[in-house]
Amino acid sequence: MWDKSKIIRVGIIGGGYMGKAHAVAARVASANAELGVEIRLEGVAASTPESAARYKEKYGFRHAFESAESLLQSDQIDAVIIASPQSTHLRFVELAAKTGKAILCEKSMGRDIAESQSIVKLASHLPNLVGYNYIQTPATALAKKLLDEKTIGEIIWYRGEHHEDFLVNADCNEWRKVGDANGTLGDLMPHPIHNALTLAGPITAVIADMKQHSNVRNEKANPDANDDQVQCMCSFANGANGFISASRVAHGKKMGLTYEVHGTKGALRFDQEDQNSLHLYRANQDAGFQRILAAPGHGQYAMFCQGPGHGTGYQDQIIIEQVAFYQAILGIKPASPSFKDGLEVMKVCTAIRQSYQTQSWTVV
């Protein structure tokens, strides 16, 4: 059990979009969940010492470290949040594990399945969590509960998507077009895969296609560019089949993370752009889908509000994620999703790439 005078000293690597989200979440997570400990923003490291100093002042860290390595080797840090590029994850997890730090690592854990396997092995003796924050919405927690209770019977079909349009204009996003880990399969597709694994269970086989769409990005064709769009049909261990897709050039989609689950007695559907609603259909109800508003009793909704329908937002997903991390550190319950869960996602991603390369069904 955790003691250390009821303080968890947190270090964050990376101060950009996700670094800021994690810094803000760390400030309020304990109060939201009534953990009874102080979550202290002890230190930050970034790509340069100057950036770290700037983030220290902006977000309220006690120290700015000269490098990620110096933060990870410091005995001032109890838990580390890795919000840096995927290419750094394995090295940073290795250093954190050597000094016994609890680890929250942004998805995807590694650039490939070999790195992800190494990350799982390195951190197996420590509290660890991988940052699939979209599974943390209260509406999705309700969906998981309804599926576990067989409210819609046995699952027979699953559809999952993650469609956005941020690369329709590729200006200032040159780095996203280089390397497998930065393509749609490495960047967006892991989210709907993780949702599918959580809600419908293990995926056993896939047949996939991947595309580049330089014409949509208004660029010349580049054979070395990574993928813009991925889709696959899949088979689940429970006998269900389904379809999962992701795109970064889908016009008009800002957070098009959706799923639809069909069972023998009904169906569920969810859209992240309306993240405080879950739609439930029970068989033989002519009225169609029932809209259920997020409310206390649905996942961690009550941490934020006692009134149904008031809603949670993206930042709240990060808070819920961090609460799970701190509960694992405190010995309250294991963190979820763990690095092992992240590895299962990478196994499916690997099978998708192999399927595309061989143009055939591929076993996960």
Residue 219 is predicted with a pLDDT of: 77
**pLDDT digits 0-9 by tens, 289-314:** 999 999 999 999 999 999 999 999 99
Query: Based on the domain organization, do 21 and 157 belong to the same domain?
Result: no
Query: Based on the domain organization, do 176 and 260 belong to the same domain?
Result: yes
Is 324 contained in some domain? no
Query: Based on the domain organization, do 196 and 169 belong to the same domain?
Result: yes
Residue 2, pLDDT above cutoff 70: no
Q: What is the mean pLDDT of residues 325-354?
A: 97
Query: Based on the domain organization, do 213 and 99 belong to the same domain?
Result: no
In 3D space, the residue among 72, 132, 133 whose CA is nearest the CA of residue 103 turns out to be 72
Task: Answer with the one of 133, 152, 174 that is the final residue of a domain.
Answer: 133
Residue 150 is predicted with a pLDDT of: 98
Residue 169, sorted as left (phi over 0), alpha (psi -120 to 50) or beta, turns out to be: beta
Task: Answer with the one of 133, 153, 177 that is the final residue of a domain.
Answer: 133
pLDDT-derived band at 171, boundaries 50, 70, 90: low
Is 109 contained in some domain? yes
Task: Answer with the one of 133, 161, 182 that is the final residue of a domain.
Answer: 133
The residues near 114 (Cβ < 8 Å, ≥ 6 apart) are: none
Strand 203-211, strand 362-363: pairing: antiparallel
Residue 200, pLDDT above cutoff 90: yes
Q: What is the CATH number of the domain that holds 297?
A: 3.30.360.10
**pLDDT digits 0-9 by tens, 122-153:** 999 999 999 999 999 999 999 999 999 999 99
Query: Based on the domain organization, do 49 and 161 belong to the same domain?
Result: no
Distance of alpha carbon 181 from the chain centroid = 15
Neighbours of 232 (CB within 10 A): 25
Query: Based on the domain organization, do 116 and 248 belong to the same domain?
Result: no
Residue 4, pLDDT above cutoff 80: no
Query: Based on the domain organization, do 255 and 165 belong to the same domain?
Result: yes
In 3D space, the residue among 85, 80, 86 whose CA is nearest the CA of residue 113 turns out to be 86
DSSP string, 339-354: HHHHHHHHHHHHHHHH
Q: Which amino acid is at 80?
A: V
Residues spanned by the domain of 8: 4-133
pLDDT-derived band at 284, boundaries 50, 70, 90: confident
3-state class of 248 per DSSP?
coil
- The tally of domains found in the chain comes to 2
Is 327 contained in some domain? no
Q: What is the CATH number of the domain that holds 118?
A: 3.40.50.720
Is 188 contained in some domain? yes
Is 317 contained in some domain? no
Query: Based on the domain organization, do 143 and 128 belong to the same domain?
Result: no
Residues 150 and 146: their CA atoms lie apart, in Å, by: 6
Query: Based on the domain organization, do 108 and 145 belong to the same domain?
Result: no
Per the confidence metrics, is the pTM higher than 0.85?
Answer: yes
Share of the chain above pLDDT 70, in %: 97
Is 48 contained in some domain? yes
**pLDDT digits 0-9 by tens, 184-198:** 999 999 999 999 999
pLDDT-derived band at 172, boundaries 50, 70, 90: low
Query: Based on the domain organization, do 119 and 147 belong to the same domain?
Result: no
Q: Which amino acid is at 122?
A: L
- Strand runs (DSSP E) across the chain, as ranges? 7-13, 38-45, 63-64, 79-82, 102-106, 128-131, 155-163, 203-211, 229-236, 241-247, 256-263, 266-271, 277-282, 290-293, 362-363
Residue 270, sorted as left (phi over 0), alpha (psi -120 to 50) or beta, turns out to be: beta
Query: Based on the domain organization, do 99 and 177 belong to the same domain?
Result: no
Which token pair is 4?
């250390």
Specify the residue for token string 């304990």: 30
Residue 12, pLDDT above cutoff 70: yes
Query: Based on the domain organization, do 11 and 62 belong to the same domain?
Result: yes
Is 339 contained in some domain? yes
Residue 122 is predicted with a pLDDT of: 98
Is 41 contained in some domain? yes
